[in-house]
Amino acid sequence: MAGSSVRNSPRRMRSSRPARAVALAACAALALTACGSTKDTGGSGGKAGGEGKVGVILPLLTSPFWQSYNDYVPKMAKSEDVDALKTVNSNSDPSQQITDINNQLNQGVKGLVVAPLDSAAVSAGLDQAERKGVPVVAVDVAPEKGKVAMVVRANNVAYGQKACDYLGKQVESGKVVQIMGDLASVNGRERSKAFRDCVKDKYPELKVLEIPAKWESDTAASKLDTLLNSHPDIKGIYMQAGGVYLAPTLQTLKSKGMLKKAGAKGHISIVSNDGIPQEFDAIRKGQIDATVSQPADSYAKYGMYYIKAAMNGKKFKPGPTDHGSTIVKLPSGILEDQLPAPLVTKENVDDAELWGNSVQ
């Protein structure tokens, strides 16, 4: 399996002291170059063992966030010196994603970068990749089972907590809604629980109403419409994915005469996740108040960086990186590089460093 750096000799020999010393010295040198380093080497890693095509599998392309990620992939592959094939879209179908993984493996790829749709179901594809000795980097979602070289992801618990703290300070008491993602995804579960727990612990005067929308815009719109009919006194909304929930949420509020500009009487405070240009425009217009910027550019960049590292047998260990993130060890034993995801409000929405301000 790629990622293993040392193999045992097939011959049994009685080690002499000089031989042992040489072996220890070699091990020490190897540790400095391949084991436990969190130093960035970008695309400068050696080619030995790391050549070959890389498959990149997307979860969907109906969200502006994933459209942006898709656009970044070939650019970041080039900058990291990775020979990436044209991306494959699993179109929100976990079963299709397993088929896509198998198809890429049958094409002889030497590495895979996958954004899992279902945290559990993706293990079937990961197991097949492991059997073929092909390393995998997971982007955006951490698998519950299966082997991956690294998960490239932001802290989704922090997403829910940041949204909770923002709404808690804007809305002193009353009803708030969280439009949840797919609870088959660890992202949806973590964001939902973090928001719910934070409100309970820190803002007990708020009452949380929940919409399980499965990352589907139509589901979000219809369920929000029904909820607003029953609870017209809602004061805040947390959208777990602006890429799919922003447009239907704004349209639903507008159709009911409830889309009020920030600062106006009756304004419903709205915080989102993604950091797409459309959210930034909505913040500037006063339609929503904030979003947590999920790094589409860094997802692509470090997905490419880590798959190249894995193909070259490089290993990492928990700790800070040179790109402003922290590698953590998940309960499953998988390593995850938790990339920064800043809160964006009207105060910093025009920051040129935000990826959402650098795309059309």
Reported as a single tens digit per residue, the pLDDT across 179-194 is 999 998 899 999 999 9
Pairing relationship of beta strands 136-139 and 174-180 according to DSSP bridges: unpaired
Q: How far is CA 176 from CA 199, 203, 209, 232, 285, in A?
A: 10, 11, 6, 11, 21
Alpha-carbon gap, residue 168 to 293, rounded angstroms: 19
pLDDT at 72: 98
Quick one: tokens of 220? Answer: 């979000």
Distance CA 83, CA 106 (A): 17
Question: Please, are residues 292 and 348 in contact by the beta-carbon 8 Å criterion?
Answer: no
What CA–CA distance (Å, rounded) separates 357 from 281? Answer: 10
DSSP state of 357: G
Cβ proximity of 289 and 344 under 8 Å:
no
Mean of pLDDT values over 261-282? 97
Cα–Cα distance measured from residue 323 to residue 41, given in angstroms and rounded to the nearest whole number:
11
Burial class (CB in 10 A: 0-12, 13-18, 19+), 19: exposed
Q: In whole angstroms, what is the distance from residue 218 CA to residue 131 CA? A: 39
Distances (CA, A) of 304 to 54, 76, 139: 9, 7, 10
What CATH superfamily classification does 42-155+297-357 receive?
Response regulator (3.40.50.2300)
CATH topology identical between 42-155+297-357 and 156-293: yes
Of residues 213, 150, 140, the one with CA closest to residue 182: 213
Q: E strand or H helix at 137, and its extent?
A: strand 136-139
- What is residue 311's predicted lDDT score, i.e. its pLDDT? 97
Q: Domains of the chain: which residue ranges?
A: 42-155+297-357, 156-293
Residue 344 phi, psi (nearest 5): -115, 125
CA 188, 126, 59, 299 torsion-angle sign: positive
CB atoms within 10 A of CB 155: 20
Cβ(290)–Cβ(171) under 8 Å? no
Q: Is the pLDDT of residue 17 over 50?
A: no
- pLDDT greater than 90 at residue 360: no
Mean pLDDT of 16-31: 37
Superfamily of 156-293 according to CATH:
Response regulator (3.40.50.2300)
Range 25-54 average pLDDT: 45
Q: Largest Cα–Cα distance of the chain, in whole Å?
A: 84
Task: State pLDDT tens for residues 218-239.
Answer: 999 999 999 999 999 999 999 9
Confidence of residue 51 (pLDDT cuts 50, 70, 90): confident
Task: Determine the Cα–Cα distance for residues 77 and 263; give it in Å rounded to an integer.
Answer: 44
User: 273: which 2 tokens?
Assistant: 């996740």
Residue 293: CB partners within 8 Å, gap ≥ 6?
274, 275, 341, 342, 343, 344, 354, 355, 356
The answer to whether residues 272 and 291 touch, using CB atoms and an 8 Å cutoff, is: yes
